Chains A and B, each alone.
Chain A
Amino acid sequence: MNIIISNSSNVPIYEQIKEQIKSKIISNELKVGEMLPSIRSLAKDLRISVITTKNAYEQLEKEGYVETIPAKGTYVANKNVEIIREEQLQKVEQLIDTVVNIARVSNISKDEIKSMLDILYEEE
């Protein structure tokens, strides 16, 4: 598992960890029931403070992505992948809605938006 942290980014480090673990859960790279590294060993390997990793795990737990069993460890929670996907889909829909609204107001055509999307996907 890769977790890449930028010290110069404006995104707080615990946020960076949280987002990366989350995306790994959503993409199924981390499977349900899989154990995450302990707070302490993750802190050591990333060369960051224990409180930072603890923070990230706590937030993941709050959002239901992971589960902590005291004295055992932290596991990927049995949150329905379908539900997560649904949530993400909703987010995308909302954003596209905004895009469409702006496009209509500014007289930007559907094809132009499509080609923009094509370019963005190709870049990746």
Chain B
Amino acid sequence: MENSLEVKNLCKKYNGFELKNVNLSLPKGMIMGLIGENGAGKTTTIKSILNVIKRDSGEINIFGLDNIKDEKKIKSDIGVVLDDSFLSEYLTPKDISKIMKNFYKTWDENLYFQYIEKFKLPQNKISKEFSSGMKMKLKIATALAHKPKLLVLDEPTSGLDPIARNEILDIFQEFIQDEEHSILVSSHITSDLEHIADYITFINEGEIVFTKTRDELLEEYGVLKCAEEEFKKLDKKDYIKFKKNKYEYEVLVENKNEFRKKYDFGVIDRASIESIMLIYIKGEK
């Protein structure tokens, strides 16, 4: 399977924060969710991929090309949504099309206004008067109208109500109906990604903890809840990390079925991405 994005050993010191040897690969036709706490390095990784900040070392290939050497060519095929940055809020959706068509040869005005209509955005109102859900939809329409092959989104669902989030997830799945398309999306709202992401990459303190397919993560990982005496019977190599709570131990295990064959105490639940993240960050070994 060809990759649309490949990051190898990316290092970057930035604002008192450090990315350490970040590795990622996103196959064509797939959605990758980048998860982690605020400040874990999601945005810095995305900014390095887009060469908005210059990497210190490592390699970043997009569509098989170096992201600095072939920057212009690559960027014509990427659509970007940034959490906190867009064109001025004093512009209307109509103005935005007039501006954007100068930047992208492939800008499709009809497609843009189709999205604007689909998202029920008023064409002639300045976006300052939009709700946050509408603003996000405007950003997404703008990112899609030049028919990119790769969509990179930083926190597109934060601050949105469940209905708007749901609509945005729909847009993502619609986008990857084309097998050449792929999406890299960062979010700290893990439940959004739990459904639609094909790969989940977990980043913590500037380092990648793991990349797994959604199925591996949700069908195999498990959280064991047990008493202290039971926990003491566990072999260290049979679990990833544990968290000691007031009334129980929460233990993250890599394969709940294998684990069950060996131990028969406690209860094992399917691990949600949130609980995996939580035990990784707060837990101990």
Contacts and interface: CB of A to CB of B under 8 A. Distances in A.
Complex contact flag A–B (Cβ < 8 Å): yes
Interface of A: 10, 12-14, 40-41, 43-44, 47-52, 55
Interface residues of B, number: 20
Contacts, number: 46
Interface string B169-189: 110011011010000000000
Contact of B215 (A10, A40, A41, A51): A51
Closest 5 CB pairs of A and B: A44-B173, A12-B219, A49-B214, A51-B198, A49-B198
Interface of B: 29-31, 169-170, 173-174, 176-177, 179, 195-199, 213-215, 219, 270
A42 to B, nearest CB: 11
A51 B211 CA distance: 14
Contacts of A43: 173, 196
B174 A50 contact: no
A115 B170 CA distance: 50
Given A12-B219, A14-B215, A52-B214, A47 B195 contact: yes
The SS class assigned to the B binding surface is mixed
Contacts of A51: 30, 198-199, 213-215
23 contacts: A10-B270, A12-B215, A12-B219, A14-B219, A43-B173, A43-B196, A44-B170, A44-B173, A44-B174, A47-B173, A48-B195, A48-B196, A49-B195, A49-B196, A49-B198, A49-B214, A50-B31, A51-B198, A51-B199, A51-B213, A51-B214, A51-B215, A52-B214
